[in-house]
Amino acid sequence: MRVGIDARFITRHPRRGIGNYSLNVVAELVRLSPETEFFLYISAPDHEGILPRAANVTVRRLTTPAYPFWEQLALPRAARHDHLDILHCLGNTAPVIMPRGIKLVLSLMDVMFLQTGEFVPKPTNNYQALGRIYRRAVVPRCTLSADRVITISEYSRRDILDLIPNLDPERVSVTFLSCDAIFKQAVKEQPQNSVTGRSPYILTLGANDPRKNTLRLVKAYLALWKKHEIDEQLVISGYANWENSEAYRVVKNAGATDRVKFLSFISIEELADLYRNATFFVYPSLYEGFGIPLLEAFSAKCPVLASNTTSIPEVGGDAALYVDPLNQDSIEQAMYQLIHDDKLRQSLADRGYARALEFTWTETARKTLSIYQHCMSEK
């Protein structure tokens, strides 16, 4: 079996969600199936040397400029040149016209970009705006023409089937995600950290994107602090350009800049330490196709307070305390409960760690290989 993989998100920096998914799945596919010939197509050079090196792996760098030309022209041309049986596109889009005889597998994380509403993030620059136009034009067409579509939760599967009419449900499969192994590595709790010193803290991940719900969480925390004078600070990590955010303005106006700490992007090692030593983690998102931060927190034995919406309860199971993310009072009351209930926090930490063990990249890759084999049986 000759399988080509659109691996360009692995070597693109900074590497985000799709890039990490691609990196982990490709590594496991190569390890689990040494009899399969893999062709990895990239656009940026692999300066890290992070791509798998094995006898059954060929890496090809396609240098065609501009995303659409790379995907719609250079990628199918390379697939034809390498006599592929299957082309697997990992990043939501794929060639609209495929060379004859090559099966197309598309990984489609979610279809939020096909939706409208106040929680859909607005493009912040021309590149993002053009990218959304491209996805809206390409995704329905390549999804309908794909031999198999892989998505990451049952929630996303239902969303895809609702928003792309005439798509055969039998062709849409779910393979869950996992998280980096570093979050599972046991490290002794540190009495002091570089962010809050010796003060306990609540951890969250922040963004200006309205679906991340950061502003409502900040308001809930400030209300809780003023009412109960809690010891816990709030640490908001991964928040790009936080200095110009409405959330920071609210904190500043409340005179709480010593209580709420904003961090830009930090290393994965620093993030793992923040999870391990937090009193608990809050995940108030309004829309997620999966929600890897849940598994990161679970793996680090950090109790989790999470939204009761979209795919989040599907991933979290019984291992999180759930709230209505649109109700500020609900978030505030749940945070107060977790601060004062030691037994609940310990129970959530234990259940979360057990839940995280159910999600592995090995299982994701096994299910992906099964989908490849199903495609081959139809040739």
C-alpha to C-alpha distance for 358 and 319, rounded to whole angstroms: 12
333 phi and psi angles, rounded to 5 deg: -65, -40
Encode 65-95: b = buried (16+ Cβ within 10 Å), e = exposed.
Answer: eeeeebbbebbbebbbebebbbbbbbbbbbb
Is the whole-model pTM more than 0.85? Answer: yes
CATH topology of domain 181-356: Rossmann fold (3.40.50)
CATH topology of domain 2-178+360-377: Rossmann fold (3.40.50)
C-alpha to C-alpha distance for 278 and 195, rounded to whole angstroms: 11
Local confidence band at 290 (pLDDT 50, 70, 90 cut-offs): very high
Q: Residue 85: pLDDT above 90?
A: yes
Q: Residue 192: pLDDT above 70?
A: no
Query: Rounded to an integer, what is the distance from CA 166 to the centroid of its chain?
Result: 27
Q: Residue 76: pLDDT above 70?
A: yes
Residue 42, helix vs strand vs coil: strand
The pLDDT tens digits for 155-191 are: 999 999 999 999 999 999 999 999 999 998 856 566 5
CB 102 within 8 A of CB 85: yes
Least confident of 19-28, 112-121, 302-311: 112-121
Listed in order, strand segments (DSSP E) in 189-300 are 201-205, 233-237, 260-262, 280-283
pLDDT at 130: 79
Least confident of 10-19, 40-49, 212-221: 10-19
Average pLDDT over residues 83-89: 98
Q: Residue 147: pLDDT above 90?
A: yes
Local confidence band at 17 (pLDDT 50, 70, 90 cut-offs): confident
Q: Residue 116: pLDDT above 60?
A: yes
CB 1 within 8 A of CB 13: no
176 phi and psi angles, rounded to 5 deg: -70, 165
Q: What percent of the chain has pLDDT over 90?
A: 81
Local confidence band at 265 (pLDDT 50, 70, 90 cut-offs): confident
C-alpha to C-alpha distance for 39 and 23, rounded to whole angstroms: 14
Average pLDDT over residues 297-326: 97
Which helix (H) or strand (E) segment holds residue 307: the answer is: strand 304-307
What is the rounded average pLDDT for all residues in the chain?
A: 93
C-alpha to C-alpha distance for 251 and 154, rounded to whole angstroms: 37
**How many CB atoms are closer than 10 A to CB 222?**
20
The pLDDT tens digits for 18-67 are: 999 999 999 999 999 999 999 999 999 999 999 999 999 999 999 988 88
Q: Residue 198: pLDDT above 80?
A: no
Domain with CATH 3.40.50.2000 in the chain: 2-178+360-377, 181-356
Average pLDDT over residues 239-248: 92
CA atoms within 13 A on the CB side of 38: 28
Local confidence band at 342 (pLDDT 50, 70, 90 cut-offs): very high
pLDDT at 67: 86
Q: What is the dihedral of CA 31, 32, 34, 40, to 10 degrees?
A: -60
Q: Residue 193: pLDDT above 70?
A: no
